[in-house]
Amino acid sequence: MERRSLHRNGPVFSRIVTGAWRWTLEERQVQELIEASLEAGITTFDHADIYGDHSNEEIFGNVLRKNPSLRKKMEIITKCGIKFSSSKRPASWVKHYDTSQQHIIWSANNSLKMLGVDHIDLLLIHRPDPLLNPEEVAEAFTSLKKSGKILHFGVSNFTPSQFEMLQHFLNFPLVTNQLEISIQHNVPLFDGSLDVMLKNKVSPMSWSPLGGGRVVNGDQQQLFQKASKYAATDAQLALAWLLKHPSTIFPVIGTTNPERITECSKAIDIQMDLQDWFEMLKIAQGKEMP
């Protein structure tokens, strides 16, 4: 598995990342998914404090507590900033965002506790908060960085202007913006999102790179008519389409199937032809390039 840096001063991650969004599972199953990922060369795992109604970090952490050697083989990403009504968070009665200094620091410390680790490799602001105070966020990030609890910082779902606004207040780089990008959700290729990543030499991450399964299970199977040419599955071809982009996209695959992890990991070996890439885009958009 190829490993690349998200930024010249950023972390080195496996080019394909395993997402734990759906991992509200028994510890045995989570361990199988971790081991399948590592066996396939996927060393980077993507979490958020809210996944599994605030449970998935702890389940993952329980596996690490029982198998401490696993932590040395992986990099961990998590996110913060979303709150919603939950029996585990009774103070919240409406879904909202909280990017205050106090909450970011509390959430980071809680994630460290749930995961049972002494540091997190990358912390992301999960969603752009309309009340975000960049100076408070900068103070929180700086404090966590100085303490060694969080090594790197980024954002998720930010617009280009929101990304550059927050970067302006930091003395160190935001190393990624995790965006929804897939062959069917290809808007970020044209709305400036990937342009600003290239401008800042920052690699984006792609959540839902297979469209939650819709990309390979929908009615546009002609998208993948080239699959036999590449001796690839539909999922592998969809990921290879993303991997070809010059911004160096890191797809985050979300699955509870160990075999699917192994399958997706092999997308890294596909060198997609230029015209095949544009042909897939033409089919996805329903029109030729202008």
Tens digit of each residue's pLDDT (9 = 90 or more) over 240-265 = 999 999 999 999 999 999 999 999 99
Confirm if 150 and 108 have CB atoms less than 8 A apart: yes
Angle between helices 234-243 and 258-265 (to 10 degrees): 50
Both tokens assigned to 76:
């961990």
Catalytic residue among 51, 60, 230, 241: 51
Superfamily of domain 3-217+246-256: NADP-dependent oxidoreductase domain (3.20.20.100)
**E runs forming strands in the chain:** 3-5, 12-14, 17-19, 44-46, 75-80, 82-83, 96-97, 120-125, 150-156, 174-180, 205-207, 250-254
**Whether residue 51 lies in the annotated active site:** yes
State the pLDDT at residue 270: 95
What Rg do the C-alpha atoms of the chain give, in angstroms?
19
Contact 43, 37 (CB under 8 A): yes
Q: How confident is the model at residue 88 (pLDDT cuts 50, 70, 90)?
A: confident
Give the start-to-end residue ranges of the domains of the chain: 3-217+246-256
- Percent of the chain exceeding pLDDT 90 equals 87
pTM of the model: 0.95
Q: Please state which of the ranges 46-50, 85-89, 269-273 shows the lowest mean pLDDT.
A: 85-89
| Nearest Cα residue to 125 out of 182, 165, 74, 85 | 165
Contact of 55 with 42, CB cutoff 8 Å? no
Query: What mean pLDDT comes out for the span 30-46?
Result: 98
